[in-house]
């Protein structure tokens, strides 16, 4: 019998420019259930319509965020679009201990921090929109961003694309269903990697 307790969990990091589709892919992975788990990031930005504190994010003050940084409570944190976001270390530790695939939907800065801090246990996937034109179209379709915000996100997207080849995998989101299939395949292969097993493959008592 396979001894699942011998499997160490890992961090499955999904990054993309705004409009890349990472939120949709993230939700599709979570819908699959075990072994996929999620972490709830902390952020200093105000909640958007429909967002719930403790469900979508932990919405905290700048002062509280700074305290957590100083206490080493984040596995990674970054300043994105004028606000700070961070991954609480407690979620990372739990994923490793429970043999879970901890999905993190974070920006490029945060992804590289996690790879630096957990080089053997962080798998980075960059989801790329097909083009700048398509990215702008998707941002405008949302109908929630101002012109200044769209311009900022497009500029940031151009910078993020430059770092795509530093990720472990690149998935192009021409069609969201195909992108989800590709990402699930990557996660499945990484979950089965021999390096994830830290004990005996068989439970000697069964």
Is residue 201 situated within a structural domain?
Answer: no
Indicate the range of 70-79, 94-103, 155-164, 195-204 predicted with least confidence. 195-204
Size (the chain), residues: 206
- Asked whether residue 191 is assigned to any structural domain, the reply reads yes
Q: Is residue 115 part of a domain?
A: yes
CA distances from residue 194 to 125, 144, 201 in whole angstroms, order as listed: 20, 44, 10
pTM of the model: 0.82
Percent of all residues in the chain with a pLDDT value above 90, rounded to a whole number: 52
What CATH number does the domain containing 22 carry? 3.40.50.300
**Number of C-alpha atoms within 13 angstroms, CB side, residue 141?**
10
DSSP, collapsed to helix, strand or coil, labels residue 189 as: helix
In a domain, 126, yes or no: yes
Where on the phi/psi map is residue 102: left (φ > 0), alpha (ψ -120 to 50), or beta?
beta
Mean pLDDT to the nearest integer, 96-118 = 90
Give the pairing of strands 83-88 and 42-43. antiparallel
Which whole number is the average pLDDT over 34-54? 90
pLDDT of residue 1: 34
**pLDDT tens for residues 80-91?**
878 999 999 998
Query: Would you say residue 158 lies in a domain?
Result: yes
Selection from 61, 171, 167, 67 nearest residue 107 by Cα: 167
Q: Is residue 12 scored above 80 in pLDDT? A: yes
- How many domains does one find in the chain? 1
Nearest to 124 by CA among 137, 139, 109: 109
Percent of the chain whose pLDDT exceeds 70: 94
Range(s) of the domain holding residue 139: 4-39+99-196
Residue 46 forms part of a structural domain: no
Does 79 reside within a domain? Answer: no
């Amino acid at each position: 019998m396979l001894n699942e307790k011998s499997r160490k969990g890992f961090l499955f990091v999904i990054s993309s420019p705004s409009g890349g589709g990472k939120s949709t892919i993230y939700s599709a992975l979570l819908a699959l259930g075990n072994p996929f788990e999620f972490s709830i990031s902390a952020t200093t930005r105000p909640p958007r319509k429909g967002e719930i504190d403790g469900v979508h994010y932990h919405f905290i003050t700048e002062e509280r965020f700074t305290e957590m940084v100083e206490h080493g409570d984040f596995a990674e944190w970054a300043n994105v679009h004028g606000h700070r976001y961070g991954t609480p270390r407690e979620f990372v530790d739990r994923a490793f201990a429970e043999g879970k695939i901890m999905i993190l939907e974070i920006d490029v800065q945060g992804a590289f921090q996690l790879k630096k801090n957990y080089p053997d246990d962080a798998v980075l996937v960059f989801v790329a929109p097909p083009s700048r034109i398509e990215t702008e179209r998707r941002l405008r379709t949302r109908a929630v961003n101002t012109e200044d915000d769209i311009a900022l996100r497009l500029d940031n997207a151009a910078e993020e694309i430059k770092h795509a080849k530093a990720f472990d995998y690149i998935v192009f989101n021409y069609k969201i269903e195909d992108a989800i299939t590709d990402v699930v395949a990557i996660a499945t292969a990484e979950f089965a990697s021999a390096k994830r097993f830290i004990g005996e493959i068989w439970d000697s008592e069964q």
